[in-house]
Amino acid sequence: MNIDATGNLAVDEEIDVWRPHVTVATVVPRDGRFLLVEEDIRGEIVINQPAGHLDPGESLLDAAVRETLEETGWEVALTAFLGVQQWTRGGNDRQFVRFVFAADAVRHQAARPLDAGILRALWMSRDELAAAGDRLRSPMVLASVEDWLAGRRLPLDAIRYLSATAG
């Protein structure tokens, strides 16, 4: 460890600590159905919201819009922040902190190739999603839709992106 003259950890020192996976997901409703993806995860076909990891230097809002486009071919406009979910996958200590947004579908780029592993985008009702049971990638999938259906809406400005250059 590198300690500075004041006894504090040097700013450039990397601290070896456990970190959760920070992800985003988007709930996109349309005509009583929700935009989802069917994806191949290590040989298992599962259903998920458009979702993915935050990229370095990216805001959470930008990540949600990007992941939705990359996984579904849909351009979206974020409308609300639905909340934060924390989930630990059974059998290991992989923990996910997921920021969930609501969005309106704006335009479909049907010719756009989808991310690797994504088999297709599909629209499902809440009941169809609940009936999918073990095919859901995690319990966060149904919880996100249920949060939207329950009317949970937080303002998008509840999340502030502060870059290193912000004054």
Domain assignment of residue 161, yes or no: no
| Largest pairwise CA distance in the chain | 62
Number of domains the chain contains = 1
Domain assignment of residue 160, yes or no: no
The model carries a pTM of: 0.86
How sure is the predictor about 91, in pLDDT bands with cuts at 50, 70 and 90? low
Q: Is the pLDDT of residue 118 over 90?
A: yes
Which of 156, 153, 118 has the alpha carbon at shortest distance from 36?
Answer: 118
Range of the domain at 105: 21-152
Domain assignment of residue 167, yes or no: no
Domain assignment of residue 95, yes or no: yes
The 10s digit of each residue's pLDDT in 42-66 is 999 999 999 999 999 999 999 999 9
Average pLDDT of the residues in 10-33: 83
Domain assignment of residue 3, yes or no: no
Q: Is the pLDDT of residue 82 over 90?
A: yes
**Per-residue tokens: 70:** 């990359």
How sure is the predictor about 146, in pLDDT bands with cuts at 50, 70 and 90? very high
Query: Any idea what the CATH number is for the domain that residue 38 is in?
Result: 3.90.79.10
